[in-house]
Structures are given as C-alpha cells and as structure tokens.
Amino acid sequence: MYICPLCRQPLTLTGRQYRCASNHSFDLAKESYVNLLPVQQKNSKDPGDNKLMIEARRAFLQSAAYQPLSDAVNKLVMQAAPATVLDLGCGEGYYSGRLQQALKPAVRLSGIDISKAAVKYAARHYPAIRFAVASAYQLPFADNSFDSIIRIYAPSDSSELQRVIKPQGRLISVNPGPEHLIEMKQAVYREVKLHSDQIKDQPGFQHIQRQQLSYPLHITEPEQLDNLLQMVPLAWKFSSDTRQAFIATTRTISIDFLLDVYQSDKTADKPG
C-alpha cells in the first residue's frame, strides 16, 4: 500500500526495510512503524505534537471524556462495511485503537501522523494497525487505497484525499461545533466567537450526512481539565494565574462536535 515519499513509486517490504525501484529505503522501527516523512516535507526539525502534549492528550482520552465521539465515529465507519480504513492524523492512536476493536479482524486499518513521538506510541500499543510518520499533504499511499478515511481535527489536502479514496469511498470528518469548549473562550475573551456550523465543501466528495454530538463533560478531577487545556490551541491565551483559577473553579465543560460524512464522486473508470 505504501509508495515512496520521494519518487512516488511503490514500496516493497523485504525483511524490515521498505525499498522502491529507485533504491530509496525506509527501515521499520522496532515498534514496527515506518517513517515516510523526508526532511523536505518537514516544517520544523520535529513537527507535530511533542511528548508532553501526547502524554496530556493520552491521559485525557483515557478518562473516557471523548469516548462518545469515538463510539459515534466507529458507528459511522461500520455503516459502510469498509475493507480498508485510514486514520488521518491519528495521533497517539486512541481513535484508531478503539476503531480496530470495533471492526472485523479482516479490515486493514492504517494511521498516519507527522508526530514521530505520537506514531511511536501508537505503534507500540496497537500492533495490529499499520502506522507511519507521514504528511497528510503528500500521502504515502497508492491511488484508490481506502474505502473509508476518518479525519478528526486533522488538516488535509483535497486532491490527496481524492487520489487515495476508492470510488464511492467515504470520508468521515470531525470538527468542533458552535458551543465546543465555550467555557474556555469565555474565560479569555471579552466577546466570544462561536465555531461555524456551516457544512464545508469537500472537492471531489458529496456531503451525505451530518451528526451533531453535544454533551456536558463533568470534570472529575483538576488534572483532567489541565490535560484538556494542554490539548487545545486556546491554552496559549491563558496566563498562569487565569489558568489556575479556571482549573480550580470549572466543574463542567461543553462538548460539541460536528460529524460530517462525505462520499467520493469518483467512479471506477475515473482515477484519482
């Protein structure tokens, strides 16, 4: 399924090394993931989430705070009965891992992220899933590789999504709803601007379904809220004092997700 990130030719695995016809080679790490993010595609020396951010997100997700979202995504994926699935921007593998448990064993599940630390964690904890460090803007997969793609808050390139999705394949996209984490915004902004609930155009796909998932998250311990703050860009708006006060006084956070399902308009005789 992998193609070379340098010359775009198919990669063949021999032993613990992927190699293309141009003799570019990529070794499997001891955790069995492969790094397909060449230096030319990096926007920094160590792109993506760092180890501390990953640990915070992992601790928060392990508290089951976002399990309703994971369950909803799994249900949408399973509706299409896919044989191949890509988790785009898989992070440390929470959603991939729970999806893999819900799917039939024969389904091939892959995950990519630009964070090496995140992919290393994911590969170590979910060995049944194929993980790679890679760019969402230059996906290291052959044309028509996936029946379904899940994209949870991950940036992506429309032409690459069109290329790797199979004809009539589905893209499941998760974005924040209008009220998502509104209490955080109220703590740092004088005037709060809500997230848009407009359905976004996805070139090459038709929008076929929307689900809104909203619920109050009751904070069980201060560490849970502290971990959530470390996960979101809004954390930079908090000073040390306002952050401590927010964590000490906040008992409920509004969770609001928009789950959109798109279907590829590609036909079998129309390549990506």
User: HSE of 261 in the Cβ direction (CA atoms, 13 Å)?
Assistant: 19
Q: Which residues, including other chains, have CB under 8 Å from residue 80's CB and lie 6 or more apart?
A: 147, 148, 170
Q: Give the pLDDT confidence of 58-67 residue by residue, as tens digits.
A: 999 999 999 9
Q: Which of 21-25, 45-49, 260-264 comes out lowest in average pLDDT?
A: 45-49
Question: Cα separations (Å) of 230 from 34, 180, 233?
Answer: 27, 16, 8
Summarize the chain as % helix, strand, coil (round to 5): 30, 30, 40
User: Quick one: which of 239, 163, 173, 228 has its CA closest to 200?
Assistant: 173
pLDDT of residue 236: 86
Give the predicted TM-score (pTM) of the model: 0.93
Q: Give the pLDDT confidence of 246-256 residue by residue, as tens digits.
A: 999 999 999 99
Question: What average pLDDT does this structure show over 205-220?
Answer: 97
pLDDT of residue 93: 96
CATH number of this structure's domain 32-176+198-213+258-264, picked from the four choices 3.30.70.980, 3.40.50.150, 3.40.50.720, 3.40.47.10: 3.40.50.150
Q: Is the pLDDT of residue 49 over 80?
A: no
pLDDT of residue 267: 80
Q: Which residues, including other chains, have CB under 8 Å from residue 272's CB and lie 6 or more apart?
A: 143, 144, 162, 163, 164, 165, 266
Q: Is the pLDDT of residue 109 over 90?
A: yes
Q: Is the pLDDT of residue 152 over 80?
A: yes
Structure tokens at 93: 């593998």
Indicate left, alpha or beta for 23 from its phi (over 0: left) and psi (-120 to 50: alpha). left
Angle at which helix 116-125 crosses helix 51-62, to 10 degrees, equals 40
Question: What average pLDDT does this structure show over 206-212?
Answer: 98
Domain boundaries, the chain: 32-176+198-213+258-264
What DSSP designation does 224 have?
A: H
